[in-house]
Structure formats: structure tokens, C-alpha cells
């Protein structure tokens, strides 16, 4: 009797399991069937709970960032997102579910021929397309997922996922009541709309309206202009245009000006009158980097400049040393003395500059070997933010800002052959620089924080996640094998 008392309940169950169940093939089959059925039912039930996926990537590339959640939580209008070319289990749909969770006014629908053939026909969609269509009232936006959700970092050779930044800023663009107006000046052989098509798409995605303006036809800089953009003109301003731009500046208007290297001598007398208001000028020529850390491959005229850590425009680029700008044939800027700038009520801030070992070539007609003999060695500033006080009264401060850059091709769609042909505007942080600059001029600081570097997607789980994964991929298979061996041994002994 005392021996029976020493046998625990667990031992009795174990004994019963081994002697009565596992030794009987029918019962063994039945138990296995029950376990498999229970496993399937459990999985189906868990699936109906719509539990969030565990994102174990280092930068949480499949998880909506806090910046995006905060931004979209303020959306007050209903937004419907139609997704075409995506399955229910895709990471894109998972993102849309997170947007809906952050704000119930943001809903989504997967477009198929069965669910909404009218919408597919309306947008002329066909097999092979991956498209998002955002609609809110009369506002509408179409995103081509194949081209607008990815970019490429040519310094780390990694594809970068920009899905979240594109969707978030597109959602915000539909809810901005008064979108900042960006006017691109035309009439002096500036970049055409085709040459900056990507830049205009980027602006649309970040809640801006971009238009073109010819001052001769308009008669003035438009009253609703938040930033006047002059991209690398090849001819001078007309005399009649100078007072129009001066009037705009004196009202606190902001300007973005770029100038690429010119192969011939062009007199920019009138244009320089505008730049003289800020005490700055562009020197024709190009920078050659002697320091390989600031040059791309073996092309010393394709440079990765230093960026300022003190400006909102470049601070995030500075912290991500892997993703610098890539500039081709960049010229340099000269400014007046500090005393002269003070008299002009102008302050300056360096944004982009070369290394101290760089050469500046002024003789552009000679080959690079010959030109280097007469080149100037030292630091060259490529971009400044010039801030001019235009206040008529001391207690009512009004500033006019000039973001000037001695190269403009970096924001164009000019193709460059670096590991395959890509537009310059898609390289590294080129787009971020110009978008951050426009955000600064138009006081749109919020958009600076929404964009997110998602280039690194390595597996970095937490301790708990680590042990969960190890249990699934190691312990469970070992347990199944162990049970199988036990069953085999018990049956062998019975025989």
C-alpha cells in the first residue's frame, strides 16, 4: 500500500500513456489526429484575432514609426486608400492596417476585379501594376509603388525602403488646407519640368503645390509664392525682372538658387544684382577631391561633400554618414567679408563643403591633369543658407532667406552610371537635402521628422523574441523527434 502511495498522479498518467495508449496503434493514431486537428484549429483561431506581426528588424521597417502615428492621428478628414496588386498578407497591407489603427478615418480596400472592377477601369489598371490610390473628398493622389517606395544608397550598395515616408506624407498632403506654393522660374533655360520630374513628385508627396512662373508674363512674383526656385539658368535675367524679384525679397520672400558649371563665359549681370543683396556669388569651375573618402569610386569630380551638423537641413544627413549627397562637377561659392555682410544685414551658414585637400579647377577648357597644375587647393563651400533682415521696423523682424548651391544637377533626373544608370535625384541624400531646404524656407519642419532611414533590416530581436524563435525552430522539432523515438522503443519492447 505504501508503495502505491509513493506513485504520483503524474507517474500514473505517464504509465497509462505509455502502456495503454502508445502501445495501441489505433489509439496512437487517434491521439496524433487530435493533436494535429487541435493545432490547425488553434492556428485558424489565432488568425481570426488579427494579432500584430512581430517586427524583429533592427530599424523596425515593418512597423509604423511614432512620428508617422503622431502625424496621421491629427488627420480630421476621411481618407480611403485603394491598394492594387497587393495580397492580404503583404507587408504593404500590414502597413495600411497600422495606419487604420492609428486613425480610424484612414481606411483601405484591396482592389481586385471581383471586388471593385469600376475603380480598376477608372484608373486603367492592369495586371503587373502595384499602385496605391488615396482619396479624400475632391483630393486624390496616385502612388506608383514600383518607383516611389524604394531608392538606392550608392555608398552602401543597399536598396532603401521609403514606403512609410511616402504613404505618411501623401496622407498629410490630402489634409493640408493651405499647401505651400513652390514656383519654378522659367525663361532663362532653367531645368525643364521633364528634367526635374522626380523632384516635383517628391514635392507632391510632401504636401506642396509646385508651379512654373515666367515673370515677364506674370508681371511679378505671385503673391502666394512661398519659395521661388531658380534652377541653374543658362542666360541672365532681363532688366525688367530684377525689380520684381527685389520687391519679393523686401516682403520677406525666400529663394532657392542653384548654378551648375558653365562651359562658356556667360555674363549674369542682372542675376548677380540679386545675389549681391545677400553678398554671395558663384565662381565658375569645378571641385576635384584629392581625399578618396569624399569621392565616388575613382571619379574625383563626383564628390560626397561634408555636411553641416548645425542646420536642420543637414543635421539628419550628418548623423547618417552612410548616406551623404553625391554631387557632379560642383562649383564653389564666394561671400563678401563679414563686415560687408553685416552692413547688408545678412548672416550665413555653411551647409555643404569640400575637404581641405580638394582642388578647385578654374581652367575648365583644359584636361584635368593640366588643369590641376593651376588649381587652388583647400576647402570650397558649395552651399550656404543666407539670411537677410529686410525689416523696415526694428520690432517687426522680417527675414528673407536664400538657399544657394553651386550645383543643381544633383536634384535633376540626369542619369549617371554608378552601378547601373540612375537619376541623380535618386542617389543617397540628394532629395533629402532639397526637400529639407524647402521645408525650412516654408516653415514645414514637421515633414523633416517623418522621413525614415530604413536601409538596415538585419535580424535584431529582443531577448524574449530570441528565445521564442529558438523554441520554434529548435526545441519543438527536438521534442517531436524525442516522442517519436519513445513510441518506437515502447513498441519494440512490446514485440
**Cell digits of residue 57:** 528588424
Q: Is the pTM of this model over 0.85?
A: no
Residue 254's nearest CA partner among 272, 230, 238, 236 is: 230
Instruction: Give the residue-averaged pLDDT of 248-270.
Output: 92
pLDDT in tens, 441-490: 998 654 434 444 444 444 444 455 556 655 666 666 676 676 766 666 66
What residues are paired with 158 via a beta bridge? 153
pLDDT for 178 beyond 90 = no
Residue 371's nearest CA partner among 287, 282, 281 is: 287
Cα–Cα distance for residue pair 282/351, rounded to 1 Å? 15
The mean predicted confidence, pLDDT, of the chain is 82
User: With bands split at pLDDT 50, 70 and 90, how would you rate the model's confidence at 41?
Assistant: confident
Instruction: Give the residue-averaged pLDDT of 150-155.
Output: 54
Other beta carbons within 10 angstroms of residue 36's beta carbon come to 10
Q: What is the pLDDT of residue 484?
A: 67
Q: What is the pLDDT of residue 7?
A: 62
Phi, psi (rounded to 5 degrees) for 319: -70, -20
Q: What is the pLDDT of residue 244?
A: 97
Amino acid at each position: 500500500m505504501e508503495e502505491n502511495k509513493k506513485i504520483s498522479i503524474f507517474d500514473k498518467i505517464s504509465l497509462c500513456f505509455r502502456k495503454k495508449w502508445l502501445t495501441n496503434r489505433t489509439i496512437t493514431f487517434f491521439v496524433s489526429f487530435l493533436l494535429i486537428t487541435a493545432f490547425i484549429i488553434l492556428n485558424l483561431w489565432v488568425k481570426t484575432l488579427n494579432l500584430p506581426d512581430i517586427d524583429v528588424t533592427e530599424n523596425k521597417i515593418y512597423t509604423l514609426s511614432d512620428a508617422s502615428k503622431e502625424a496621421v492621428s491629427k488627420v480630421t478628414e476621411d481618407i480611403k486608400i485603394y491598394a492594387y496588386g497587393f495580397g492580404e498578407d503583404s507587408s504593404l497591407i500590414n502597413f495600411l492596417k497600422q495606419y487604420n489603427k492609428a486613425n480610424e478615418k484612414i481606411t483601405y480596400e484591396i482592389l481586385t476585379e471581383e471586388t471593385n472592377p469600376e475603380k480598376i477601369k477608372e484608373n486603367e489598371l492592369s495586371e503587373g501594376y502595384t499602385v496605391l490610390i488615396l482619396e479624400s473628398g475632391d483630393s486624390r493622389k496616385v502612388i506608383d509603388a514600383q518607383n516611389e517606395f524604394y531608392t538606392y544608397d550608392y555608398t552602401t550598395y543597399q536598396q532603401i525602403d521609403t514606403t512609410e515616408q511616402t504613404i505618411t506624407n501623401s496622407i498629410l498632403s490630402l489634409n493640408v488646407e493651405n499647401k505651400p506654393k513652390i514656383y519654378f522660374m522659367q525663361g532663362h533655360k532653367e531645368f525643364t519640368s521633364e528634367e526635374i520630374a522626380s523632384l516635383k513628385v517628391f514635392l507632391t508627396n510632401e504636401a506642396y503645390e509646385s508651379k512654373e512662373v515666367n515673370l515677364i508674363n506674370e508681371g511679378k512674383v505671385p503673391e502666394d509664392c512661398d519659395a521661388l526656385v531658380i534652377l541653374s539658368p543658362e542666360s541672365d535675367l532681363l532688366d525688367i525682372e530684377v525689380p520684381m524679384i527685389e520687391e519679393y525679397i523686401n516682403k520677406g520672400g525666400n529663394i532657392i538658387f542653384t548654378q551648375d558649371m558653365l562651359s562658356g563665359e556667360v555674363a549674369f549681370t542682372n542675376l548677380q544684382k540679386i545675389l549681391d543683396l545677400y553678398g554671395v556669388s558663384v565662381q565658375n569651375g569645378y571641385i576635384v577631391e584629392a581625399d578618396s573618402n569624399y569621392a565616388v569610386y575613382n571619379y574625383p569630380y563626383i564628390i560626397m561633400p561634408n555636411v553641416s551638423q548645425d542646420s536642420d537641413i543637414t543635421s539628419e544627413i550628418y548623423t547618417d554618414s552612410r548616406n551623404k549627397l553625391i554631387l557632379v562637377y560642383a562649383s564653389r561659392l564666394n561671400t563678401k567679408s563679414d563686415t560687408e555682410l553685416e552692413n547688408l544685414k545678412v548672416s550665413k551658414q555653411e551647409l555643404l563643403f569640400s575637404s581641405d585637400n580638394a582642388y578647385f579647377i578654374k581652367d575648365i577648357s583644359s584636361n584635368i591633369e593640366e588643369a590641376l597644375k593651376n588649381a587652388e587647393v583647400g576647402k570650397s563651400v558649395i552651399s550656404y543658407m543666407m539670411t537677410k533682415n529686410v525689416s523696415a521696423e526694428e520690432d517687426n523682424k522680417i527675414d528673407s532667406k536664400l538657399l544657394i548651391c553651386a550645383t543643381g544637377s544633383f536634384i535633376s533626373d540626369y542619369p549617371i552610371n554608378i552601378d547601373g544608370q540612375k537619376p541623380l535625384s535618386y542617389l543617397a541624400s540628394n532629395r533629402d537635402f532639397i526637400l529639407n531646404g524647402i521645408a525650412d524656407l516654408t516653415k514645414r519642419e514637421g515633414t523633416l521628422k517623418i522621413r525614415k532611414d530604413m536601409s538596415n533590416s538585419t535580424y535584431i530581436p529582443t531577448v524574449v523574441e530570441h528565445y521564442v524563435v529558438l523554441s520554434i525552430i529548435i526545441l519543438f522539432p527536438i521534442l517531436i523527434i524525442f516522442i517519436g523515438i519513445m513510441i518506437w522503443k515502447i513498441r519494440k519492447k512490446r514485440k
